[in-house]
């Protein structure tokens, strides 16, 4: 199998990219505002459901079960979708998916396609591929339209333009839609998008979408959205092409009763999002005459082999972990330099690349565990982060540079010292002597050298005390002995 | 290309997962999945309709009530209040629901382009979920195709009291028999919060929604 196209937008690692973005106070302000608002709404509607933990448990079990029997459920989905008049295509990687989709568009001689927001198409960089072959993709989700017209990149799964405020959106629309008089209230901006797109919905004959769930039992596809742009793309054109990751399959129609409770509440803080569409193949007299579903692997199937990390694929892309993450809260999505940002992106991106890219991302976390607590399918993200860090270290230890690197030597030395009480105690005494040059007048260590400097960059470290706990304990026992 | 890819992807999955279980074992495992969440609601009839009404009002929908005999008159009242006249309907909508003095046009006579020019749409539904204020439309009698309830700017939907359930799982139980039909759940008018997380009504779907509860 060919290696997946790179998801990473550049080779820049997380700390470097984060440093750049932290300097942009406007982005930080916009991200902070947006994530605070979504979080508050999410917490309110989640608190309404006394059975929230039971829903998480069920959702987690259903997704895990579907992944454990993924081959079975995919084959079942394919058979049922085909029986209902859909055409299922399989794409091993981004290049195959792009060429299948372009081929279908060219077969219908379309020069333009309307698109519903899909992370999967971002992943395979479909828009760039279509443009390179003379097909113009038109994003119809308001936020994706803002990103597309602004020649920008999405920074969040659910609200891809949350890093832009209304003035910035207005400038983009004024320029790109040629509306110099456009106002800046969200209502004005929405109305401009409605007018801009409506003519396109009615005219363009091919649509491209993603999907939230594939139902094996019926061969149905489920897509959730807010604006109605999805419904327009799913029902008005003659041809619909949906590109979906292979992990999105669930066993039965009834399972949606769990996810259609947990997904909207987690994603946008709504009891239900305004629109959910569910369709099965093609239906005479209702919607497209031709329906194509492209199943995308692109590095997913090998993740199943890792029993600890497999849970990553349970993700239903609600982005609750982004909104709650103290790291994402500061940096926003662009710092991850990946289509998939935030805590889930930090575990998904490197795995989709067979750990060859995005290697700094598992470290982009304080391991506080907030992401796990909000995850509607109970992905233990901190556990997977640590697991992936372990994998990276083990791989690096296999290279000469890694073996002789300062980190490895330091960590091996620490492991050696911590393994034995007398060695540990000796090291403490050495430390008490050795730290003297670093301890400031205030009694704190304000700057450490080399790789330890990161720790003291933004905080002071308490110096080792004159008497260690072990010394105090030993002295105490001596005193008691004497007293007796 | 895609045949080879199909085999390669399935082989890669099987290789990663190890030994495959047989169908009966998978079904048994599925049946044993934990489902301790709330399935059945606890509200009685009037309280249930009240909850549904509250949710719809929160979405800024108009909510009205009529009895079975009064449907046509009430529909007329609502349409008049909205100032709309030319209304698209599914072909099989009962004639007694359609008050005179309005221009009702059967949807099958319309292309989507023409639907864009009508004032609104009137239809029935399959089931409504009180807890989330959601209404489910299917390509079923008195409901029509999906674009019918999408393209016009105004929507009036009839919901019979017996169609209202409390919880999402109860809603899915009602849909089980017709799960292969194209369907749309809608919860309030179309909306977005993409600009500064401010919820705005009406982007591409109908901007105005009224619900007539038949009790």
CA of A272: how far to CAs of A46, A206, A373, in Å? 12, 28, 21
Which residues in chain B are contacts of A70 at CB distance < 8 A?
A: 13, 17
Q: Do B205 and A227 make contact, defined as CB atoms within 8 angstroms?
A: yes
Distance CA B146, CA A165 (A): 34
Instruction: List the structure tokens of A176.
Output: 């790109």
* B25 and B109 inside one domain: no
Phi-psi region of A109 (alpha: psi -120 to 50; beta: other; left: phi over 0): left
Domain presence at residue B61: yes
Q: Above 60 in pLDDT, residue A461?
A: yes
The answer to whether B182 contacts A279, with C-beta atoms less than 8 Å apart, is yes
Please tell me the distance from the alpha carbon of residue A392 to that of residue B179, in angstroms, as a whole number.
Answer: 46
User: What's the DSSP call for residue B187?
Assistant: -
The phi and psi torsions of B86 (rounded to 5 degrees) equal -95, 110
CB atoms within 10 A of CB A456: 16
pLDDT of residue A18: 92
Residue of A nearest to B23 (CA): A72
Name which of A32, A114, A274, A284 to mutate to probe chain B: the one with the most chain B Cβ atoms within 10 A of its Cβ. A274
Q: What is the mean pLDDT of residues A298-312?
A: 96
Residues B126 and B53 reside in one and the same domain = yes
Structural domains in chain A, sorted by start: 14-301 (3.40.50.10420), 424-483 (no CATH)
Q: Are residues B47 and B113 in the same domain?
A: yes
Q: What is the pLDDT of residues A417-457, one digit of tens each?
A: 999 999 998 998 888 888 888 998 888 998 888 878 888 88
Task: Looking at the structure, tell me whether residues B186 and B88 fall in a common domain.
Answer: yes
Residues B111 and B79 in one domain: yes
Q: What is the mean pLDDT of residues A457-473?
A: 89
- Would you state the pLDDT for residue A155? 85
Q: Are residues B27 and B68 in the same domain?
A: no
Residue B171 lies in a domain: yes
Strands (E), A312-423: none
B79 and B22 share a domain? no
Lowest mean pLDDT among A64-73, A88-97, A466-475, B156-165: A466-475
What mean pLDDT comes out for the span A161-190?
91
Supply the pLDDT for residue A484: 79
A356 to chain B, any CB pair closer than 8 A? The answer is: no
Report residue B7's pLDDT band, with 50, 70 and 90 as the boundaries.
very high
Report the chain B residue with the minimal C-alpha distance to residue A185: B195
Q: Please name the helix (run of DSSP H) or strand (run of DSSP E) that holds residue B210, with its range, or none.
A: strand B208-214
- My answer on whether B192 and B133 are in the same domain is yes
Mutation pick from A36, A38, A66, A72 vs chain B, by most beta carbons of B within 10 Å, is A72
- Enumerate residues 1 to 20 of chain A having a beta carbon within 8 A of any beta carbon in chain B: 1
Decide if B96 is inside a domain.
yes
Task: Give yes or no: residues B115 and B167 share one domain.
Answer: yes
C-alpha span between A124 and A91 (Å, rounded): 11
Q: What is the mean pLDDT of residues A173-191?
A: 91
Question: Which of B51, B135, B194 to mutate to probe the A interface, most A CBs <10 Å?
Answer: B194
pTM over 0.90: yes
Q: In chain A, pLDDT over 70 holds for what percent of residues?
A: 98
- Rounded to whole angstroms, the Cα distance separating B92 from B140 reads 10
Same domain, B27 and B51: no
Structure tokens at A378: 């109970």
Q: Is A255 on the interface with B (CB under 8 A)?
A: no
Q: Give me the residue label for tokens 């919820």.
A: B199
Q: What is the per-residue pLDDT for A1?
A: 39
For chain B, what is the mean pLDDT? 93
Contact at CB, B33 and A62, closer than 8 angstroms? yes
Report the DSSP pairing between strands B200-201 and A239-245: unpaired
CA triplet A149, A341, A398: central angle to 5 degrees? 135
Decide if B172 and A100 are in contact by the 8 Å CB cutoff. no
Handedness of CA A466, A471, A473, A477 (dihedral sign): negative
Work out the number of other CB atoms within 10 angstroms of the CB of residue A50. Answer: 9
Residue B38 in any domain: the answer is: no
| Contact indicator for B182, A279 with CB cutoff of 8 Å | yes
- From A93, which residue of chain B is nearest by alpha-carbon distance? B5
For A274, name the nearest residue in chain B, comparing CA atoms only: B187
Distance from CA of A428 to the nearest CA of B (A): 47
pLDDT of residue A3: 36
The helix (H) or strand (E) run that includes residue A414 is: helix A406-418
Q: What is the CATH number for B194?
A: 3.40.50.10420
Measured between beta carbons, the chain B residues lying within 8 angstroms of A272 are: 129, 132-134, 168, 185, 187
Same domain, B20 and B49: no
Q: So what's the ipTM on this one?
A: 0.96
Domain-located, residue B210: yes
pLDDT tens digits, A263-277:
999 999 999 999 999
> Measured between alpha carbons, how far apart are the two ends of chain A, in Å?
75
Is the pLDDT confidence value at A344 over 90? yes
Chain A stretch 163-182, residues whose beta carbon is closer than 8 A to a beta carbon of chain B: 165-166, 169
Residue A2's pLDDT is what? 38
Contact A319, A156 (CB under 8 A): yes
What are the structure tokens assigned to A196, written together? 């801009």
Closest residue in B to A97 (Cα–Cα): B2
Q: What is the pLDDT of residue A5?
A: 43
CB-closest option in B20, B108, B200 to A187:
B200
**Overall domain count for chain B:** 2
The rounded mean pLDDT for chain A is: 93
Across A55-78, average pLDDT: 98
Range of the domain at B183: 43-214
Q: Say how far apart CA A130 and CA A243 lie, in whole Å.
A: 14
Q: How many CB pairs under 8 A join A and B?
A: 248
Mean pLDDT (whole number) for A132-143: 95
The Cα-based distances of A441 to A45, A435, A444, A446, B16 in angstroms read: 52, 13, 7, 10, 58
Instruction: Give the residue on A whose Cα is nearest the Cα of B188.
Output: A274
Q: Contact at 8 Å (CB) between A290 and B2?
A: no
CA-based nearest residue to B194, from A229, A339, A377, A128: A229
Asked if B104 and B198 sit in the same domain, the reply is yes
| Helix-, strand-, coil-residue percentages of chain B, each rounded to 5 | 40, 25, 40
Q: Which of A123, A176, A177 is nearest to A151 (CA)?
A: A176
- pLDDT at A225 > cutoff 90: yes
């Amino acid at each position: 199998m060919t290696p997946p196209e790179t998801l990473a937008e550049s080779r820049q690692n997380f700390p470097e990219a984060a440093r750049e973005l932290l300097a942009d106070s406007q982005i930080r302000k916009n991200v902070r505002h947006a994530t605070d608002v979504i979080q508050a709404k999410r917490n309110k509607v989640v608190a309404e459901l006394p059975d929230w933990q039971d829903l998480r448990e069920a959702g987690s079990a259903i997704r895990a079960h579907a992944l454990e029997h993924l081959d079975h459920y995919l084959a079942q989905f394919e058979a049922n979708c085909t029986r209902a008049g859909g055409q299922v295509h399989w794409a091993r990687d981004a290049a195959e998916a792009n060429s299948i989709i372009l081929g279908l568009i060219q077969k219908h001689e379309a020069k333009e396609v309307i698109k519903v927001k899909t992370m999967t198409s971002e992943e395979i960089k479909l828009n760039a591929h279509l443009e390179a072959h003379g097909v113009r993709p038109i994003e119809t989700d308001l936020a994706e339209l803002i990103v597309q017209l602004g020649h920008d990149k999405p920074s969040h799964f659910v609200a891809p333009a949350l890093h832009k405020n209304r003035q910035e959106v207005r400038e983009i629309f004024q320029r790109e839609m040629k509306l110099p008089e456009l106002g800046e209230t969200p209502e004005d901006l929405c109305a401009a998008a409605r007018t801009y797109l409506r003519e396109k919905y009615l005219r363009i004959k091919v649509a491209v979408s993603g999907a939230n769930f594939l139902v094996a039992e019926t061969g149905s596809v489920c897509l959730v959205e807010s604006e109605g742009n999805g419904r327009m793309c799913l029902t008005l054109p003659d041809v619909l092409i949906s590109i979906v990751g292979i992990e999105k399959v669930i066993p039965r129609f009834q399972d949606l009763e769990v996810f259609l409770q947990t997904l909207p509440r987690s994603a946008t803080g709504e009891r239900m999002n305004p629109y959910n569409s569910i369709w099965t193949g093609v239906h005479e007299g209702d919607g497209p005459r031709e329906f194509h579903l492209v199943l995308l692997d692109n590095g997913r199937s090998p993740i199943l082999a890792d029993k600890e990390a497999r849970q990553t694929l349970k993700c239903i892309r609600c982005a609750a972990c982004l909104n709650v993450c103290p790291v994402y809260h500061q940096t926003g999505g662009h710092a991850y330099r990946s289509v998939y940002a935030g805590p889930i992106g930090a575990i998904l991106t490197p795995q989709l690349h067979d750990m060859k890219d995005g290697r700094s991302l598992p470290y982009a976390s304080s391991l506080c565990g907030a992401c796990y607590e909000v995850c509607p399918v109970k992905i233990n993200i901190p556990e997977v982060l640590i697991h992936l860090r372990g994998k990276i270290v083990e791989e690096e230890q296999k290279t000469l540079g890694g073996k002789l690197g300062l980190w490895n030597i330091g960590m091996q030395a620490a492991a050696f010292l911590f393994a034995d009480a007398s060695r540990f105690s000796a090291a403490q005494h050495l430390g008490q002597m050795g730290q003297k040059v670093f301890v400031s007048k205030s009694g704190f260590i304000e700057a450490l050298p080399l790789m330890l400097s990161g720790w003291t960059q933004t905080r002071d470290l308490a110096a080792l005390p004159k008497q260690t706990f072990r010394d105090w304990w030993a002295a105490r026992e001596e005193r008691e002995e004497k007293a007796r | 290309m895609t045949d080879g890819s199909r085999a390669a992807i399935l082989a890669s999955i099987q290789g990663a997962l190890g030994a495959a279980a047989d169908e009966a074992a998978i079904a048994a495992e599925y049946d044993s999945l934990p489902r301790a969440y709330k399935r059945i609601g606890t509200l009685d009839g009037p309280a249930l309709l009240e909850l549904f009404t509250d949710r719809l009002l929160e979405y800024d929908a108009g909510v009205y009530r009529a009895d079975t005999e009064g449907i046509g008159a009430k529909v007329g009242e609502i349409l008049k209040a909205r100032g709309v006249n030319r209304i698209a309907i599914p072909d099989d909508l009962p004639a007694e629901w359609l008050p005179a003095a309005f221009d009702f046009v059967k949807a099958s006579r319309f292309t989507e382009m023409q639907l864009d020019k009508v004032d609104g749409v009137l239809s029935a539904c399959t089931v409504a979920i009180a807890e989330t204020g959601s209404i489910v439309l299917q390509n079923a009698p008195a409901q029509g195709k999906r674009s019918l309830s999408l393209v016009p700017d105004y929507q009036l939907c009839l919901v019979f009291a017996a169609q209202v359930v409390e919880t999402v799982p109860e809603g899915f139980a009602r849909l089980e028999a017709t799960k292969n039909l194209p369907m749309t759940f809608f919860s309030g008018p179309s909306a977005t919060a993409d600009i500064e997380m401010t919820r705005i009504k009406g982007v591409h779907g109908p901007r105005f929604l009224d619900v007539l509860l038949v009790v």
